[in-house]
Structure 1
Amino acid sequence: MSNFISVSPVDILYHIKLSCQIPNVLEVIATRKIIADTAAKEGIEIETEELQQAADNLRLANNLLKAEDTWSWLKKHYLSLDNFEEIAHTNLLSTKLANHLFADKVEAFFYAHQLDYTAAVIYEVILDDEDLALEIFYALQEGEISFQQIARQYIQNPELRRAGGYQGIRQRSDFRAEIAAAIFAANPPQILKPLITPKGAHIMMVEEIIKPQLNEQMRLNIMGDLFTNWLQEQVSSLEIVAQLGEDKNYSSQQ
């Protein structure tokens, strides 16, 4: 039996079709075209030094610290050096276009949606039994048991159990409206009375409320969100016509 298999471009396309991935692929292609066309229209250009830095950033993002790492990565993904440069070019063009279109809109958007960027440090245990949840809540209030103890007793997921039910820093948009209202009205550190959702009875401890600040990372996040939403609107307004050929072309290769 042969120890290799030959896969043609027709095979690849046929597999993508059968995997129902064509819509996603077409959306990505349309997005690239929109970025390139809009950047050209807006007169955005890329300098050689900028492209070199973008290529370096791409290598770092993929942990390609040595030349052999880069060559192995290119081989794995069936890419040439020209392809690598094109990826870096597209990444940089996207960044520059996002900055061009939305950098001056970030501050106004932040202050208009500041409440949405408020975050909270949360611990949580979810129970199926509402009466038990209420009983545990009152025990917590009286200091008869600690939150870490109920987490160890009632959380099934090992990692969450070891972390004492720690959910991390969560933004208001991460929660259902009724839960967000209770969390962000809390006076930390505070344990909330059980909140009932389809998932069960939530016993939550709000350790800290974090007020948002318009720092550099927040600016980048908002600008990225605005740019992503804009791209989605552009793509959804298009009628994408794909010329994929007939399946008989694949059959003729068998």
Structure 2
Amino acid sequence: MKTINVQIADIIKYTKQSLQVPKIMEAVAHRQIIINQAEKLGIKVELDELQAAADNLRIANKLYKADDTWSWLRKYQLSLDDLEEIAYHKLLSQKLANYLFADKVESYFYENQLGYTGAAIYEIIIDEEDMAMELFYGLQAGEISFQEVARQYIQEPEIRRAGGYRGIRYRQDFRPEVSAAIFASNPPQLIKPIVTSKGVHLIWVEEIIKPELDDNLRMIIMTDMLSNWLKQELIDVEIMALLDMETPAPDSQGCVGSV
């Protein structure tokens, strides 16, 4: 197997040239705001809570065995300390969201209930519109099954094995033109192919799910509310980063540390 050595400087250069820096800087600023606010409010993460959060993180990433965990860490260039820190910040965000918004979830839910209507869907993205239409008519006529099309056109192994099943998705998860078609459907129904910048979407809508305010949806809503709150916190803040010698140094009003 051939090896290609990638330097840190190359990674930073690519990140800058692929225009990802503003998004990353905003995420770093969000993390710092959460840390500062949690400290101000006296919110702490206990050791047993951190252990449970780390276990949940491993389960979420299907890291059931030690070898799975080490392979995953190598893939993302992480250490065990990094894994623990990821779990820590995720849990701290959840605890802050709960502190700030737990008593506001119900009113937010009823005001935004339509946005939390879900759809259980199967999806295949085809490169060519003519081929997508041919497959659409073939599916309608029963000449081929959705699972057969999925096996042929989906690259990701897990989604391919699941026949294109994408789980339960919400309105905000879709582009407007896709969302409009899905939530206007009468499931179970195959939707006429929809063209977007990603390709041509073949979508089978299995079920439209009316939202119920259970624990899982409460957490989703609190996460959304925290995200909106963080955006508000950054409205009057300029985020700057010193990534190389050509970048001008930020003043005290503009650096992340002043957030």
TM bracket (short chain)? 0.5 to 0.7
TM-score (norm 2): 0.60
Summarize deviations over 1:47-103 as a string: whole Å, max 9, x none.
344344445445655637559x67x959x957575x665554433322211111122
Instruction: Answer with 113-122 or 97-106: which moved more.
Output: 113-122
Cα displacement (A) at 1:210: 1.6
Change (3 A) 1:164 1:241: closer
- Counting only pairs closer than 5 Å after superposition, residues 67-78 of structure 1 correspond to structure 2 as 73=73, 77=77
Q: Partner letter of residue 189 of structure 1?
A: P
Alpha-carbon distance in 1 for matches of 2:53, 2:162:
38
Shift of 1:165: 6.8
The answer to whether the 8 Å contact 1:98/1:223 transfers is: yes
What is residue 18 of structure 1 aligned with on the other side? 13
* TM-superposed deviation, 1:40: 1.7
Provide the secondary structure at the position in 2 that maps to 1:39.
Answer: helix
Between 1:43-52 and 1:219-228, the stretch displaced more is 43-52
Aligned-pair CA distance for 1:185: 3.8
Structure 2: runs of 5 or more not aligned: 247-259
Equivalent residue, structure 1, for 2:207: 208
Please report how far the alpha carbon of residue 38 of structure 1 lies from its aligned counterpart in structure 2 after TM superposition: 0.8
Q: Distance in 1 between matches of 2:171 and 2:145?
A: 27
- Does the 8 Å contact 1:122/1:166 carry over to 2? yes
> In the alignment, which residue of structure 2 is the partner of 1:117?
116
Quote the RMSD (CA, aligned, Å): 4.8
Per-residue deviation at 1:157?
0.9
Count of aligned pairs between the two proteins: 227
The match for 1:101 is 100
Q: Which residue does 1:252 correspond to in 2?
A: none
Amino acid at match of 1:18: K
Question: Are positions 1:146 and 2:142 aligned together?
Answer: yes
**Matching residue's letter, 2:171:** R
Give the share of equivalent positions with the same residue, in percent.
Answer: 45
Opposite residue 113 of structure 1, the aligned amino acid is N
Unpaired segments ≥5 residues, structure 1: 248-254
Taking the aligned partners of 1:90 and 1:16, their CA distance within structure 2 comes to 24
Asked if 1 retains the 8 angstrom alpha-carbon contact of 2:150 and 2:163, the reply is no
Could you tell me how far 1:34 is from its partner in structure 2?
A: 1.0
Q: In 2 relative to 1, CA 230–162 (structure 1 residues): closer, same or farther, beyond 3 Å? A: same
Larger Rg: 1
Decide whether the 8 Å contact of 2:183 with 2:208 is kept in 1: yes
Q: Note if 1:225 corresponds to 2:224.
A: yes
**Structure 2 counterpart SS, 1:106:** helix
Structure 1-normalised TM-score? 0.61
Q: Residues 121 and 169 of structure 2 are in contact (CA less than 8 Å); yes or no, is this contact kept in structure 1?
A: yes
Cα 1:186–1:99 shift into 2, 3 Å = same
Aligned to 2:153: 157
1-structure distance, mates of 2:59, 2:202: 42
* Contact kept in structure 1, 2:194 and 2:202, CA below 8 Å: no
Report SS of the residue matched to 2:38: helix
Contact 1:152 1:162 in 2 (8 A): no
Moved more, 88-97 or 217-226: 88-97
Match of 1:250 in 2: none
Which residue of structure 1 lines up, in the alignment, with residue 256 of structure 2? Answer: none
How many angstroms apart in 1 are the aligned matches of 2:220 and 2:164?
Answer: 27
The answer on whether the counterparts of 2:150 and 2:164 sit within 8 Å (CA) in structure 1 is: no
